[in-house]
Structure 1
Amino acid sequence: MSSLGASALRHLEKLIDKIKRGTRVISKSPSKLLEYIMAGIVRAGDRIENGLVQRIRLFARYMLRFQRSLFESVLLASLWAGLLFTIALLIIAILNVLG
């Protein structure tokens, strides 16, 4: 690796360390402008990601409730259908015996 590549890599490692530590204050001097912009982008990305995760969890919770209610509805409907089918068979059997 060339010395220029190694220097760039060290600079990016330092930037990643600052971002991981949550450093809010980064010098705004022209030589640090790229670092400042990148840190701002990462912080904005973190906020967007957290908001998105919260909304996805809320949506998943609503879908779980819907799934449970749908399961209960299908179960109840099948029980009613079975009961009505049994009553219909009982009536047919009684009519065949009497008639």
Structure 2
Amino acid sequence: MLSSELILFMFFITLVIAILSGLIFLNHRVPIQYIKFHIYLLVLPIITELSGLIFFGERANVGPFVVDHLTWLMMTFILTLGFIIQKFSMRYLIGDM
């Protein structure tokens, strides 16, 4: 059975993967087709957050973090907005080529 600590740990791991993917894309030698792979990697933290939002509503203390239903909802909302903005920027960037 999954615990809220494990889901939060998976969220941080997927968030670090998405951030590293964005840093890799900043290199000018990376082809423009890499951005589609980067967009797929951006979905991983959102999926992890949605699983935390659906399966865990109770309040839990995980290290310095207090995780409850509102926390999962806010994280999902913020990263979903970031995904939408990056998806729009990707289409805008490809349109400039």
TM above 0.5, yes or no, is: no
Larger Rg: 1
Relative CO higher for 1 or 2, CA cutoff 8 Å, sep ≥ 6? 2
TM-score class, shorter-chain normalisation, is: 0.3 to 0.5
| Structure in which a larger fraction of residues adopt helix | 1
After TM superposition, the score normalised by the length of structure 2 is 0.39
TM-score in terms of structure 1 length: 0.38
